[in-house]
Amino acid sequence: MKVLVTGVKGQLGYDTVNELKKRGHTPIGVDIEEMDITDSASVNQVIKEAAPDAVIHCAAWTAVDAAEDEANQEKVMLVNGTGTQNIANVCKELGIKMMYISTDYVFDGQGETPWKPDCKDYKPLNVYGKSKLAGELAVSETLSKYFIVRIAWVFGLNGNNFIKTMLKVGKNHDKLTVVNDQIGTPTYTFDLARLLVDMIETEKYGYYHATNEGGYISWYDFATEIFRQAYEIMGEEEYSKEHLTVAPVTTAEYGISKAARPFNSRLDKSKLTANGFALLPTWQDALNRYLKDLKTQE
C-alpha cells in the first residue's frame, strides 16, 4: 500500500512513516516544504502526483497557547480547518481513504466520565480545539472512507514534549510544581503509529480514541513517574528525590496558560477492542522504553 503521511517532521508523522516501512508499505512523507496544506493547488498537485492508496494526516498547528493570540487565530483555522478540508477534497476526488489525527480538545473537558469516540457533544474551550473540530467536520462531511483518531498527551522521540521539558527543567531546579487536576493518559507515538497502520490496512472506518493503557492520571502523576524512572534509567542525581521535589498544584494556582485546558481528557478506547484492534501498552511501559531510547540517542 502506498500511503502519504503529512507532518513527517513531527513526532507522530516521523514514527508513522517508519512503521509503514517496517510493514513493507510505501510511505510518502511530506511536510510544509513539499506540500503546503493551506494551498489547495499544492495539495491537489502533490497528492495526485503521488497517487497514494491512503492519506494519514498528522500535520497540524499544535501550539495551544500561541493559537490564542489574535494575530495567529486565522492561521490556526487555516492550517487545521481549511488545510484538512483541502486534503479531504482530493481524497474524495481520488476515492481513497483518509485518516485524520484529532484531539480530546474538541470536547469541553468537564466531568469525570471518559469521552466516547462517537460522542457529538462538541464544546471546544479554545481556538486550537475549535480548529481541530473544524478539521473533523471537514473529513466527516466530505468523505465516507475516513478514520478520525483522537489522541492526547503525545510524546515521541522526534520533537518536543512534556517528558523532554520535565527532564530539562528538572536538571536546573530543585523544586517544580505540576498541575494535578487535569486528568488523562499519555500517548507514545511509537505505539500509536503501529495502531494507525493496523487501522489504515482495514476498512473499519469511523471515530476512534487511542492513548496508551495504564489508567487515567494527572500531569503531576506523570511528572513524578518520569523522574522516578529517569533516575533509575539515566542515573542522573538531579532526578532523585533527594535533589528534586515535585509538588502538586491546581490549574488555578498554576495560572499561566493563555488557553483554557480540559480537566477531563479521559478517552474511552473500548471501540478499538470492539473492532479487533490491539490496545496500546501501558503508559508506564511506554515511558520506560522512551527514556531508554532517549538515553541511547545521547
Residue 159, CB half-sphere, CA atoms under 13 Å: how many?
19
* Cα-based angle 8, 14, 17 (whole degrees, multiple of 5): 90
Cβ atoms of residues 6 and 58 within 8 Å: yes
| 122 catalytic residue (yes or no) | no
Q: How far apart are CA 188 and CA 123, in angstroms?
A: 26
| Alpha helix ranges (H) inside the chain | 11-22, 40-50, 70-77, 83-94, 127-142, 162-172, 189-200, 219-234, 251-254, 270-274, 283-297
- Taking phi over 0 as left and psi of -120 to 50 as alpha, with beta for the rest, 109 belongs to left
Cβ atoms of residues 198 and 147 within 8 Å: no
DSSP string, 178-245: EESS-EE--EEHHHHHHHHHHHHTS---EEEE---BS--EEHHHHHHHHHHHHHHHH--GGGSTTT-E
Count of residues making up the chain: 298
Grid cell locating 274:
470492539
The 10 Å Cβ neighbour count of residue 153 is: 22
Catalytic one of 128, 188, 239, 290: 128
Q: 136, exposed or middle or buried, with CB in 10 Å at 0-12, 13-18, 19+?
A: buried
Query: At 103, phi and psi to the nearest 5?
Result: -150, 155
Catalytically active residues, by annotation:
128
